[in-house]
């Protein structure tokens, strides 16, 4: 599965957050994101009793994964696919708590070492039916160690409490402890920045994830440039 996402269709913050910064009208309908959302749902095995977990990674830096995960989670909530949970598993560059203006001191890492419960770490956002689990404090890794069994226990817990779950992963080459969580997703898609990655690099990233036991659902082309004269686009 490959779907192109033009740069102009992906906002850098969810509508509810952006509206606090600007009084300009925001068009919540985004056909490209909605198409991607429904295709992802259609390609995963949907259980009426258990939620679906979708991972998002990339084959290189600055591929727009965090922005894409943010917008998909907002669209899922708006399309009545909630309750929705957005998880920050990008230990190299955690940004979701700043996007949603939340406290990022407690989160995923605290759950994995067993120092916090999901109810203590998961936060409500300003978007209806959308919750956020930040990465959490790296101090928790120094104070304790990740318990391997906690990955599967956590995955089952979120399936039982959320209908749709998105996980913002680091780039494939940077996956470490996040790989254990990626293996528990229903599908993980790889974002490819337009005109920034070779075909061999994309194939290598997919092969690496597959060999590590991750169910790869396809690729998403991001930051696609539209080479159309402005006068024609605005006409």
Residue 191: name the closest of 34, 103, 60 by CA.
60
The model carries a pTM of 0.82
Hey, CA dihedral for 224, 29, 81, 128, is it positive or negative? positive
Q: What is the pLDDT of residues 54-110, one digit of tens each?
A: 999 998 778 889 999 999 999 999 999 989 999 999 988 899 999 999 988 899 999
Model confidence at 17, pLDDT cuts 50, 70, 90, reads low
Short-list 34, 29, 5, 35, CA closest to 15? 29
Average pLDDT, the chain: 81
Q: Give percent of the chain with pLDDT exceeding 70.
A: 77
CA distance 28 to 25: 9
Pick from 124, 118, 122, 120: which is nearest to 133 by CA? 122
**pLDDT at 12 (0 to 100):** 53
So what's the pLDDT on residue 197?
63
3 state SS of 60: coil
> 89 near 167, Cβ under 8 Å?
yes
The C-alpha atoms of residue 59 and residue 46 are separated, in whole angstroms, by: 27
* Cβ-count burial 121-131 (b if 16+ within 10 Å, e if not): bbbebebebbb
Q: Is the pLDDT of residue 15 over 70?
A: no
Beta strands in the chain (DSSP E): 2-6, 52-58, 84-88, 123-124, 130-133, 164-168, 187-193, 216-224
Whether 196 has a pLDDT exceeding 70, the answer reads no
The sign one gets for the Cα dihedral 82, 83, 89, 95 is: positive
Between 93 and 53, name the one with better pLDDT.
Answer: 53
Partners of residue 157 on adjacent β-strands: none
Integer Cα distance of 163 and 193 in angstroms? 29
Nearest-10 Cα torsion for 165, 187, 68, 160: 0
CATH superfamily, region 2-10+33-226: P-loop containing nucleotide triphosphate hydrolases (3.40.50.300)
pLDDT at 224: 57
- What is the pLDDT at residue 131? 97
Q: What is the reported pLDDT for 20? A: 40
User: pLDDT tens, 148-170?
Assistant: 899 999 999 999 999 999 999 99
pLDDT reported for residue 161: 96
Domain ranges of the chain: 2-10+33-226
């Amino acid at each position: 599965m490959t779907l192109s996402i033009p740069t102009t269709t992906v906002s850098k913050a969810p509508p509810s957050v952006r509206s606090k910064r600007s009084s300009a009208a925001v068009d919540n309908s985004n056909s490209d994101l909605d198409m991607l959302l429904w295709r992802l749902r259609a390609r995963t095995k949907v259980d009426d009793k258990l939620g679906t977990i979708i991972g998002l990674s990339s084959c290189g830096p600055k591929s727009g994964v965090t922005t894409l995960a943010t917008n998909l989670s907002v669209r899922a909530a708006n399309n009545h696919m909630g309750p929705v949970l957005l998880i920050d598993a990008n230990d190299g560059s955690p940004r979701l708590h700043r996007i949603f203006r939340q406290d990022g001191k407690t989160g995923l890492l605290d759950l994995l070492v067993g120092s916090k419960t999901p109810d203590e770490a998961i936060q409500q956002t300003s978007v209806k039916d959308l919750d956020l689990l930040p990465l959490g404090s790296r101090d928790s890794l120094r104070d304790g160690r990740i318990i391997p069994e906690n990955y599967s226990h956590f995955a089952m817990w979120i399936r039982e409490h959320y209908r749709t779950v998105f996980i913002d992963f680091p780039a494939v080459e940077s996956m470490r402890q996040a790989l254990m969580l990626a293996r528990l997703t229903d599908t993980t898609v790889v974002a490819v920045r337009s005109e920034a990655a070779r075909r061999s690099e994309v194939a290598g990233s997919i092969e690496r994830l597959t060999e590590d036991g991750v169910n790869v659902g396809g690729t998403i082309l991001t930051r696609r440039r539209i080479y159309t004269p402005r006068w024609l686009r605005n006409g």
